[in-house]
Amino acid sequence: MSFALLFSGQGTQHAAMLPWLADDDAVVHDMSQRLGVEDWRQAMADSTWAERNDNAQVLLTGLASAAWAQLAPKVARPAAIAGYSVGELAAFSAAGVMDAKAALALAQQRAEAMDECAARVPGGLLAINGLPDSRLSRLLTESGLAVAIRNGAESVVLGGPVAALAYAQRIASDEGAQCTRLRVNVASHTPWMREAAQGFAQALGGVLLRSPQVPLFSNAADRIRDAESAGAALATQIAGTVRWDECMENIVARQVRCVLEVGPGQALARIWNRHCPSIPARSCDDFRSVAAVVGWLESYSDR
């Protein structure tokens, strides 16, 4: 069984996600305590609560870490791991860089640092699909925005102040591009988060990090091979472009047979299936039980 794990970012969280997840898990309990809720699914019913950056980052890190902890004893070691944006915390934990408890604490600190920056310059993210590179370059100059995420050819996410996002959305839409404002209220992975990246680097300095136990690919630094580069990459990506297109290429090079997204929704699985249709991807959110997830992975073990 040769497979890769992708850990979701925020924006697709919902109350019914990961229906098979055991809520008596220690990580879920720790997460709920940090969030100050007894029932995280009930709390998610309030969309305002669910979309708050400080809640979402802790929630996604905790649930993804718990989900993988419940799956890991039943499957082989993954051939590669990567995480999308905040999904890197759970991904690095799954790869052995830190334990889940440390990842949860870091998610809380990461969100706090980013919210402090956002309070000074309110911002967000705008997904744009179908805009040629030449026109994208002009739009960046005209709007003053930055590329927050690269998902593939003509598929990017821009970040920056609210007014600039509205301007870019109007211009790109008029030119036939598909534009979607993401459900986040910070300009993640752009220079507006530089102070947050610096503060998070200091927080990481107090955490015991280890070398990854499986091939681990970063949004900011290609393959992570040791503890020092792991810490640097986690801090750098807060204010730097998420190079998800390169993460996918690095995983393709591992010659995996299938890809499993760990987290809510199917966003990464869909991006993967468009990028590399010969290697199938599914999300944990597609399944109703642990056995069903394991069964799907095992169906590719002999191919």
Is the pLDDT reported for residue 289 higher than 90? yes
Is-contact 160 190, C-beta < 8 A? yes
Cβ-in-10-Å burial (0-12, 13-18, 19+) of 162 comes to middle
Per residue in 113-159, pLDDT tens?
A: 999 999 998 999 999 999 999 999 999 999 999 999 999 989 999 99
Radius of gyration from C-alpha coordinates of the chain: 18
Residue 258, pLDDT score: 97
Q: Residues 6 or more apart from 136 whose CB is under 8 A from it?
A: 128, 154, 156
What six digits make up the tokens of 251?
A: 């995983």
For the segment 79-86, the average pLDDT, to the nearest whole number, is 98
Is the pLDDT reported for residue 277 higher than 60? yes
Q: Residues 6 or more apart from 15 whose CB is under 8 A from it?
A: 41, 42, 44, 45, 50
Residue 95, pLDDT score: 98
Is the pLDDT reported for residue 209 higher than 90? yes
What is the architecture of the domain spanning 123-181? 2-Layer Sandwich (3.30)
Residue 302, pLDDT score: 59
* pLDDT classification of 11: cutoffs 50, 70, 90: confident
Is the pLDDT reported for residue 293 higher than 80? yes
What six digits make up the tokens of 121?
A: 């310059």
Is-contact 145 239, C-beta < 8 A? no
Per residue in 149-188, pLDDT tens?
A: 999 989 999 999 999 999 999 999 999 999 999 988 999 9
pTM of the model: 0.95
Is the pLDDT reported for residue 34 higher than 80? yes
Is the pLDDT reported for residue 303 higher than 80? no
Q: How far apart are CA 87 and CA 284, in angstroms?
A: 14
Nearest to 9 by CA among 280, 242, 221, 236: 242
Residue 1, pLDDT score: 60
Is-contact 65 103, C-beta < 8 A? yes
Q: In the chain, where are the structural domains located?
A: 3-119+190-298, 123-181
Per residue in 214-254, pLDDT tens?
A: 999 999 989 999 999 999 999 999 999 999 999 999 999 99
Class of domain 3-119+190-298: alpha beta
Check residues 23 and 93 and name the one with the higher pLDDT.
93
For the chain, give the mean pLDDT. 95
